[in-house]
Structure 1
């Protein structure tokens, strides 16, 4: 016959932890979690030009950046891309600039060099074959004398520099708006994940308690050992996850890793539960773990 199992130390430990959890549910902890989903916008004006920035982000395993700007605004695109890389670490980020001018159709510009070439050619023809000078309509109709220039092309260099600087500075406003959105949503996600971790921790305590009861009833040490080992590791992972929620910086990858480890421990616990009579508790824990992993995928 097996020797009696002394369950008093472990029972006291589990009972005390469970009693503390049940007596007072911990309030939502302060967290610095940021979501990967967000939206930001800003509008500005400089001279005859006005613009609108829009930035959107959604979930992605790493950082993806697309910045859409009008032609000849590559400097703006590069500067904005750098700012996103400095401020965000994960997410699929799209930023778009809409630039308008009061003269939306652009403007006509006389090509002085081409005009002189046409006038010189007209004089040579008149000298060779005779005849008067060509009319203004004829000269303007010559290819290349008049051309339509777009909004950006018609901007003087000094004004272009001031415009680029103003547009780039206004991008900061839209990016900050996006970050505020991600922080607000991240805070809610952090509280939700923390509540699921609390339930997981409580169920782990009850698993240990049920395992004690089974071990005491059957007087078999291995039943208690099987449950105790897995529960202790699960509790340790839960505490680490809570620490990540309260820490600074991006915690999404770390939480995803912890979620994978919890899955592994829970699979082992469910296998052991078949002979320890705690199968329902393990299934309940699996439900909360899947909820945790689903929400963690949204965290930066």
Structure 2
């Protein structure tokens, strides 16, 4: 079953003081364009994601973003011994000088010292990113699965639309075949009339040469090959829609072939009704081509 190039998935997680949010999205593109935004300190994660994505995604402009935050660890506060020693030394000197001058100071409290800047600091903790990177890699597999599911769901909708459009093309092609068959006698009669008129008004003309030219005109107005190729293109498109994997480029090429045959049909029709059918074909084929741009 075909898949769309449009998709989106998101996820959130947390471990210890870290929490994070994933976003994985894609839009149409001629090839595979990867844009990965993850924190630099998660060593090896970007390379792992860049290697993983092409195994699951063949086409599309794919953007991966990861935001990681760390909560304040209030339980990791510790006393700065150097700052405390400096503060106690300064306090002792102040008290000695005050006594020398007969000044009485209020007793110092521990809370006053703790309020000093730099007295308490947050413990650095274990900042080894390896365990976190390993967990991210595991979670990313689930994120890709959700992302691919959405692309598959979109692909099912595209499959239904394209199948209906192919049905319309098939119907219009059958109508064109009937109209082409019905005009055969008219074309033959017109050629005979034109041939007689030319021969009657051209002295010394080579009748065989004139007949050859008119026969060439008849061949050029024959749309049998165009109709046969349109039928073949419909069958080929149905086969591609039934396949798994990336078939968008092949379908896009096939749309060009559809359009070429419809253009030729219109230019060779020499019949108002057949031209109208050819124009309808061109309109439906153009709609199909727009939808095919979304197929992976």
Q: TM-score, normalised by structure 1?
A: 0.71
The higher radius of gyration belongs to 2
CA gap of 1:234–1:108, structure 2 versus 1, over 3 A, is farther
SS at match of 2:25: strand
C-alpha contact 1:34 1:186 (8 A) present in aligned 2: yes
SS at match of 1:100: strand
1:209 aligns with 2:205: no
Aligned length: 242
1:237 aligns with 2:206: no
C-alpha contact 2:259 2:285 (8 A) present in aligned 1: yes
* Residue of structure 2 equivalent to 1:286: 282
SS at match of 2:66: strand
CA gap of 1:110–1:261, structure 2 versus 1, over 3 A, is farther
Alignment of 1:108-187 (within 5 A): 155-157=126-128, 160-187=129-156
Alignment of 1:18-29 (within 5 A): none
* Cα separation, 2, equivalents of 1:154 and 1:283: 72
- Aligned equivalent of 1:257, options 229, 253, 259: 253
SS at match of 2:183: helix
* Residue of structure 1 equivalent to 2:163: 194
* Cα separation, 1, equivalents of 2:21 and 2:10: 7
1:83 aligns with 2:52: yes
* Cα separation, 2, equivalents of 1:156 and 1:215: 84
State the 4+ residue runs in structure 1 displaced beyond 6 angstroms.
Answer: 107-112, 146-149
* Residue of structure 1 equivalent to 2:242: 246
SS at match of 1:219: helix
Residue 161 of structure 1 and its aligned partner are, at CA, apart by: 1.7
CA gap of 1:103–1:217, structure 2 versus 1, over 3 A, is same
C-alpha contact 2:29 2:59 (8 A) present in aligned 1: yes
Runs (5+) with no aligned partner, structure 1: 1-31, 120-135
Q: TM-score, normalised by structure 2?
A: 0.72
- Aligned equivalent of 1:70, options 39, 46, 55: 39
CA gap of 1:92–1:109, structure 2 versus 1, over 3 A, is farther
* Residue of structure 1 equivalent to 2:21: 52
